[in-house]
Amino acid sequence: MHIVYSNRHKYHATDKVLFEGYPYATEEVPARAEIILNAIATARLGPVTEPADHGLEPILAVHDAGFVDFLRTVYAEHTAYCKDGTPVFTYSFATRHSGRKPKSFLGLMGYYAFGWGTPILEGTWEAAYWSAQCALSAADLVRAGEQAVYALCRPPGHHAAADLYGGFCYLNNAAIAARHLQPSGRVAILDIDYHYGNGTQAIFYSDPGVLFCSLHAHPDDDYPYYWGEADERGEGPGEGYNRNWPLPQGTDDARYLITLDAALAAIREFVPGHLVVSAGFDTVAGDPVGGFHVTTEGLHEIGRRIAGLGLPTVIVQEGGYLFSNEE
């Protein structure tokens, strides 16, 4: 299986962030991608290739142009304003029931964010841009005939909506790959991350050409809290094409696999030409930000059943934080 990876993710150096003089603690650090890359080499999973540069056009097919411009420029504007190079953290948030869109970057910092813990650093835009290019290049390979291609994306993406970032996510890699595949026909997205892919839902909520299916922690129990109920089924022409299976804390292999079978049945009924998998491994027991009890054997079975769909598949890396910085 081909793997698409860019070491430019290291520019999003979240392991070196200071906040008010203290180290900023986060699970989403460069070591995540490096550990996966080392495991791929050990397993001899397949060739690792650099992504091609598709430019901004496929990103703008998913994301609002003003939002993209904000991500590209806010660090420099913030540095000039604060007279230093401190990370961009957001302190106020628009509910989108607000009356106006601000013009100042100080206002836009809250307008485009839905959470505090997703800093924008000097290299964040470049890392996010090339993360999206990894997903696009994987989609190209699948469209050219590969059965499955793995995009080792960092930073992750499924919490990012058309004009919102948060949850460690800036650009929605899975959505960008799916939109890139849409000219070839229907696309299904299966999100198996522990946390709900609220951004992916929002992007395709009224689009009947993309079926979004997600298994995730119930929003009453965990992040992102405000989205992910079973009754969120799409709107307008997209009604019925958004399918959510929120699961309780402690979900084990048996319950997860039974629920996965329901999602796979929905995908078969949709008859897509391509599948995009938002692959979060924070479902595994012991993950520091997870709450399920899925075993590694269960994860293997999840992969086997998804492969059983027989669909050309783009696998996009999302979450998964069960590792040590010392590894």
Catalytic residues: 159
Distance (Å, whole) CA 219 – CA 265 = 24
Query: Which of 93, 74, 95, 71 has the alpha carbon at shortest distance from 85?
Result: 74
115: buried, middle or exposed (CB in 10 Å: 19+, 13-18, 0-12)?
Answer: middle
Enumerate the H helices of the chain as residue ranges. Answer: 31-43, 57-60, 65-82, 105-111, 124-143, 173-181, 198-204, 253-270, 296-307
Q: What's the distance, Cα to Cα, between the start and end of the chain in Å?
A: 25
Whether 248 contacts 218, CB under 8 Å? yes
Both tokens assigned to 220: 């009453």
Distance (Å, whole) CA 236 – CA 45 = 42
Whether 210 contacts 189, CB under 8 Å? yes
Both tokens assigned to 194: 């522990």
197: left (phi over 0), alpha (psi -120 to 50) or beta: beta
Number of residues that this document lists for the chain: 327
Helical packing angle, 173-181 and 124-143, nearest 10°: 30
Both tokens assigned to 212: 């979004």
Both tokens assigned to 157: 């993406």
Whether 232 contacts 174, CB under 8 Å? no
255: buried, middle or exposed (CB in 10 Å: 19+, 13-18, 0-12)?
Answer: middle
